[in-house]
Amino acid sequence: MSTITTTNPATGKVIETYPLMTPEDAVQRLEAAQDAFLEWRTKTHEERAPYLMRIAEVLRAHSDDLSELMTRETGKLLKDGKTEVEICAAIFEYTAQHGPEVLADEDRTHGSDGARGIVSHQPIGVIYSIQPWNFPLYQPVRVLAANLMAGNGCVLKHASICTGSGLRLRDLCVEAGLPKDLFQVLLIDHDTSDALIEHPLVRGVTMTGSDVAGRHIGSVAAKALKKTVLELGSNDAYLVLEDADIETAVKYSVMGRLYNNGQTCVSAKRFVVTEKVYDAFVAGFVAQMQAISLGDPMDQDSQLGPLSSEEQFDTVKGQVEQSVAKGAKVLCGGTAPDRTGAYYPATVLGDVTPGMPAYDDEIFGPVAAVIRASDDEDAMRIANDSRYGLGGGIFCRDEEHAVQLARDHFDTGMVRINSFGAADPNMPFGGVKDSGYGREHGGFGMKEFTNAKAIFLP
């Protein structure tokens, strides 16, 4: 029987080996989730909320062991893992507190005489969640919390390298009192996954990952007439405009590029810097990136841990080498240390131009691309010169000008002004263009997989 083996990217040592499920086993889990859904859907939103609040409590109670497990499986800094657990608890709490209002029946009118109408947001069934490794807890939680509140069931196919984290999440949900079959974790291969998408009991598919994987999963789901939410990659641009506060820009640019070891879909990746402040920004940015401490992710003093796997290391290393071969200049980093583990240093590339991976693609690691712009208008043009459109940022003292650019010109789903952050339960999360479609958080995710049912009264 085929297996999944998880490996610690900091040490190269095997953590655990798990047997893959057969297609028949996967369908049985799906059927069990469907049966649990039929019971769960009869509960009111107010009755579902306490389950979510209890899950939040249990996650916090297990913060230390969850964080350690995520660090062992993916190499994320232990302190970032603890932050992730807290974000997940907050998402469950937000969903429990706001879900009943967000999903409540809406009174409408219809017809020329203003007859009464009702819009009811009804659950649709079992949602298939396909998630990546970079946030082993957060990625499945943001789907799970919203859909539990909506009244749906959920089956998860997690990234193989964080299999243990996915299984642990389910165990803790059951410990918190969630019906044991309502949330399932499937250890399956890609062929079984494709077949599951087409299964009649799967009513919707949500996936986070690369745009290549999104195209495949989206097409399989579309042929089966299944709704999808796709949150895909990006090469987010952060603009340093002519009146930017350089100290602020440097501080948040370093944070934005290195958070989660640089492996975040909404990381700051391309730094588009206007001519007027280019030299000052680059000098400060490179100095701080050079000073970053690369080390054991379990060590509280480490500022940057390893990449998630040797495969990811090879990908990042290759993208940097290809960019340099096409004319990019290494301003710092760019050479991996001679040590065990998938460690890659904080790296800054200058003279980045179209045609390079550092300009065109997503480098999922601690590599920053600095791009020179003639002025603010040119910076905005360069930022939008991308097939992606997930997030981005603007450093600018004139907040009104920054808001106007963010609202009217930045072709992305999210924009940060003079700051950096990954996600917030109260704000929508998602992108445009090759970064996918659909929204999570901010109440939007709770309605993505519901039936907005229209009820007409005379």
Question: Which residues have a catalytic role annotated?
Answer: 231, 265
- Cα 386 from Cα 31, distance rounded (Å): 42
Alpha-carbon distances, residue 184 vs 25, 158, 195, 377 (angstroms): 12, 11, 17, 49
Concatenated DSSP letters of 52-115: HHHHHHHHHHTHHHHHHHHHHHH---HHHHHHHHHHHHHHHHHHHHHHHHHTS-EEEEETTTTE
Which residue is associated with the tokens 């494709």? 194
- Strands 392-395 and 416-417, by their bridges, are parallel
Q: Could you tell me where the DSSP H helices lie in 259-341?
A: 278-290, 310-325
What's phi and psi for 423, nearest 5 deg? -160, 155
Residue 411 amino acid letter: D
Residue with tokens 């399989």: 220
SS3 at position 117: strand
- Asked if residue 156 lies in contact with residue 166, where contact means CB atoms within 8 angstroms, the answer is yes
Backbone φ and ψ of 431, nearest 5°: -135, -170
Q: If we measure between CA atoms, which residue out of 52, 169, 86 comes closest to residue 446?
A: 52
Give me 62's structure tokens: 């297990």
Pairing of strands 3-7, 14-19: antiparallel
Reference 49, options 92, 16, 88, 80; nearest CA is: 92
In 214-286, where do the E strands start and end?
227-231, 237-240, 270-274
Token pair of 32 as six digits = 């069990």
